Amino acid sequence: MSHDQNFKNLIIDYPRESIAFFAAVESHAVDAGARILPIRQEQLKERLGARFRELDTPLLVEWPDGRRAALLFAFEEETDPQRFSMHRLAHYCLDLAEMFATERVVPVVIFLHAGRFPSSLRLGSESAAYLEFRYLATALFRIPARAHLHSSNLVARLNLPNMAYAPEDKLEVYAQAVRGLVELEPDPERRLKYLDFIDIYADLDDHERTLYTQRYPQEAADMSGFAQRFIEQGIAQGVKLGVQHGEARVLTSLLRLRFGELPEAARQRIDTADADTLLRWSTRVLTAQTLAEVLDDAS
Which segment, 75-89, 136-150, 244-258, is predicted with the most confidence on average?
A: 136-150
The stretch 157-182 carries a mean pLDDT of: 96
The predicted pLDDT at position 143 comes to 98
CB 281 within 8 A of CB 294: yes
The predicted pLDDT at position 1 comes to 57
The predicted pLDDT at position 145 comes to 98
pLDDT tier, 126 (very low <50, low <70, confident <90, very high otherwise): very high
Give 192-203 pLDDT, tens digit per residue.
889 889 989 999
The predicted pLDDT at position 43 comes to 45
Please tell me which residue, 144 or 230, carries the higher pLDDT value: 144
Please tell me which residue, 159 or 254, carries the higher pLDDT value: 159
| Phi/psi at 112 (5° precision) | -90, -55
- In order, the DSSP letters of 264-282 are HHHHHHHHH--HHHHHHHH
Lowest-confidence pick of 16-25, 181-190, 281-290: 281-290
Asked if pLDDT for residue 49 goes beyond 60, the answer is no
Tell me the helix, strand and coil percentages in the chain, rounded to 5: 55, 15, 30
Asked if pLDDT for residue 101 goes beyond 90, the answer is no
The predicted pLDDT at position 46 comes to 43
Asked if pLDDT for residue 275 goes beyond 80, the answer is no
Share of the chain above pLDDT 70, in %: 84
The predicted pLDDT at position 291 comes to 87
* CA–CA separation, 126 and 96 (whole Å): 30
pLDDT tier, 232 (very low <50, low <70, confident <90, very high otherwise): low
Asked if pLDDT for residue 296 goes beyond 60, the answer is yes
Kindly list the distances between the CA atom of residue 299 and the CA atoms of 111, 186, 272, in Å, as whole numbers in the listed order: 45, 35, 20
The predicted pLDDT at position 268 comes to 86
Asked if pLDDT for residue 235 goes beyond 80, the answer is no
The chain-wide mean pLDDT, for the chain, equals 84
